[in-house]
Amino acid sequence: MVAEIPPSNIEAAFVLDALQKNIRVDGRGIYDYRALRISCGPAPGMVEVQLGQTRVLARVSCEVTRPAPERPTEGIVLFSCELGSMAAPGLESGGGGGPRASAQEVAVSRMIERIIRQSRAIDTEALCIMAGIKVWTMRIDLHFLDHSGNLVDAAAVATIAALRHFRRPDVTVDGETAIIHDPRDRNPVPLSIHHTPVCVSFAFLGAAGDLVVLDPSLLEEQTQAAAFTITLNAHREICALNKAGGVPLDASQIGRCMQVAVAKSDELIDAINAALGLNKS
Amino acid sequence: MSRPDRREHEQIRALNCVLGQLTRTDGSAQFSSGSTSLICGIYGPIEAKLYEEKIDRAHIDVKLRPAIGLPATKDKWAESAVRKTFERNILGHLHPRTLVQINLQVKENDGSVDAAAINATALALVDAGIPLRAMVAAASCAVRKDGEIVVDPVEEEIKKAMSTHTFAFSSNSPDDNPVYVDSRGSFTMDQYDRCFDLCAMTVQRILAFMRTAIEGKVAKESQISAV
């Protein structure tokens, strides 16, 4: 099957021409985010995020396993990212990071892993049931359903919202025995999440990368000269910065992006809280 | 003995579907029966890979992804159920040397996924405008240990069942000839016949539901094009 066809020269030139007059092809302002819709449930840890036309489904699940021998008191967190032919024609999923994974799939899954695992958003020690014997293994499955630009931001919102929405079975440990309670006997408990990191992505267009847009659409992503993703949490702490390749950018642009990202990350976190809050009542 | 969700034995769960949600696919449908929910995206007819190209008809490719974890044997089985149901039903000879790619993503699995996958695919094929011989719908039922037959079983009922049966029927088969049959477990011929009749009856209801859904979408689209 044919791989994704890049936009024609005329299309790309049209995007740039319009941007030079401060107009985006989809009618948004330069620093406008597309409409974000977060739907939680019905199952715990099931969240679908729609960012414009981009759609991501996140599923969080858990099981009891043996811990890694070098970290006997820590639970395990696994990620599986699937950017397959459902999202866009010609894409092929490596099936959760297999050898056939496309560069884009690897890039998105690495980014999500970085912001959740390496910013220590999940308290892995709280996932320990009995040191060295039994721990919880959390599994986060990300399914991309529709790819129309900015997968990373949508995936980050879906992942952290799903983790906060998830409830694991309650466990009581009594000496050598652990009892895992059926959800019908005892209310499942939420995970211990330290903070809520969210991504805010920018695309730089034009030969020198001097035209900046927030939340790039697919067409903008395909014509971009460089991309920049800022990951922030509710305390306005930077969890990750990512500018992989592309044209060199002016340092002052990064500062401006940072100010925009701070404001947008607040909005994203508010949206996540609202979606989770509505779900509780 | 009542059912876990207090339904009648012959009662199906609430049906819901959304057509044409996805933008990148040629056609898509989300089908849910209670909490069991799938989304199906279809491309077709598109260029086929050289090795799967068939000179006289379209190649049908089905990919099903489970909600949690990587595809396992039972997911491959569901893929083959969908492929075998639709291989004869899609008018493939109209598009020789092309590919019709069916992508299914399970959103939530609470029993009767095979039947829901067939139903989601049927709706998505209509949305994609792939020429079909007839509409197809599927239903499942389970024979419990006490001999009672329950329609559209949930996961809990399937686990405890003596046998489970899935039938697909097409809208134009003259004598209720099934297009797909899958029976598992041990059962008597009498139980099989009762399951067959119950599923045939249920499929009629699902076909009527699909018809309403498609009519609604067509009416909406013709309204837009009239303006």
Q: What are A215-271's pLDDT values in tens digits?
A: 999 999 999 999 999 999 999 999 999 987 789 988 898 999 999 999 999 999 999
- The C-alpha torsion from A130 through A133 and A136 to A138, rounded to 10°, is 150
Q: Do B68 and A88 touch (CB under 8 A)?
A: no
Substitution target from B13, B22, B103 for chain A, most A beta carbons within 10 A:
B22
Which of A42, A53, A84 is facing B103, going by the closest CB pair? A84
CA distance A234 to chain B (A): 29
Query: A3 falls in which pLDDT band (50, 70, 90)?
Result: low
In a domain, B96, yes or no: yes
Nearest to A85 among B47, B49, B103 (CB): B103
Give A156→chain B minimum CA distance, Å. 18
Q: If you measure CA to CA, which chain B residue comes closest to A79? A: B69
Q: Which residues of A3-31 are buried (b: 16+ CB within 10 A; e: fewer)?
A: eeeeeeeeebeebbeebeeeebeeebeeb
Q: Is there a domain that residue B70 lies in?
A: yes
Number of domain units in chain B: 1
Residue range A59-101, pLDDT digits in tens: 999 999 999 999 999 999 999 998 988 998 888 877 655 566 7
User: Considering the domain boundaries, does residue A2 fall inside one?
Assistant: no
Asked if the structure places residue B128 within a domain, the reply is yes
- Give A57's contacts in chain B (Cβ within 8 Å): 105, 107
- How much is the pLDDT for A180? 92
Three-state secondary structure of chain B = CCCCCCCCCCCCCCEEEEECCCCCCCEEEEEEECCEEEEEEEEEEEECCHHHCCCCCCEEEEEEECCCCCCCHHHHHHHHHHHHHHHCCECHHHCCCEEEEEEEEEEECCCCHHHHHHHHHHHHHHHHCCCECCCEEEEEEEECCCCCEEECCCHHHHHHCCEEEEEEEECCCCCCCEEEEEEEECCCHHHHHHHHHHHHHHHHHHHHHHHHHHHHHHHHHHHHHHC
Write out residues in chain B with pLDDT < 70, as ranges. Answer: 174-175, 227
Tell me which of A166 and A82 has the higher pLDDT.
Answer: A166
Asked if the Cβ–Cβ distance from A80 to B69 is below 8 Å, we say: yes
What pLDDT score was predicted for residue B44? 84
Which positions in chain A touch B99 (Cβ < 8 Å)? 1
Within a domain: residue B170?
A: yes
This model of the complex carries an ipTM of 0.91
Instruction: State which residues form the domain around A46.
Output: 13-280
Domain presence at residue A1: no
Chain A residues in contact with B69 (beta carbon < 8 A):
61, 80, 139, 141
Cβ contact (<8 Å) for B46 and A143?
no
Q: How many domains does chain A have?
A: 1
Considering the domain boundaries, does residue B8 fall inside one?
Answer: no
Q: Which residues of A touch B (CB under 8 A)?
A: 1-2, 42-43, 46, 48, 53, 55, 57, 59, 61, 80, 82, 84-89, 93, 95-96, 139, 141, 143, 145-148
Residue numbers in A near B24 (CB within 8 A): 87-89, 146-148
In a domain, B1, yes or no: no
Residue of B nearest to A4 (CA): B24
* pLDDT confidence band for A10 (50 / 70 / 90): very high
* pLDDT score recorded for residue A95: 61
Which of A85, A86, A146 should one mutate to test binding to chain B, selecting the residue with the greatest count of B CBs within 10 A? A86
CATH code for the domain of B69? 3.30.230.70
pLDDT at A250: 87
Is residue A209 domain-resident? Answer: yes
Residue B68 is part of which domain span?
15-226
Nearest CB partner across the interface for A95, out of B39, B70, B108: B70
Q: Is residue B3 part of a domain?
A: no
Contact predicate B133/B91, CB 8 Å: yes
Q: What's the mean pLDDT when you consider all of chain A?
A: 91
Residue A150, pLDDT score: 94
Rounded CA separation A211/A243 (Å):
16
pLDDT at position A278: 55
Give the predicted TM-score (pTM) of the model. 0.92
Q: Is the pLDDT of residue A280 over 60?
A: no
Give tens-digit pLDDT for A100-155. 678 888 889 999 999 999 889 999 999 999 999 999 999 999 999 999 999 999 99
Is B208 inside a domain boundary?
yes
CATH of the domain at A40: 3.30.230.70
Whether residue A13 has pLDDT greater than 90: yes
pLDDT digits (tens, 9 = 90+) for B15-59: 999 999 999 999 999 999 999 999 999 998 999 989 999 999 999
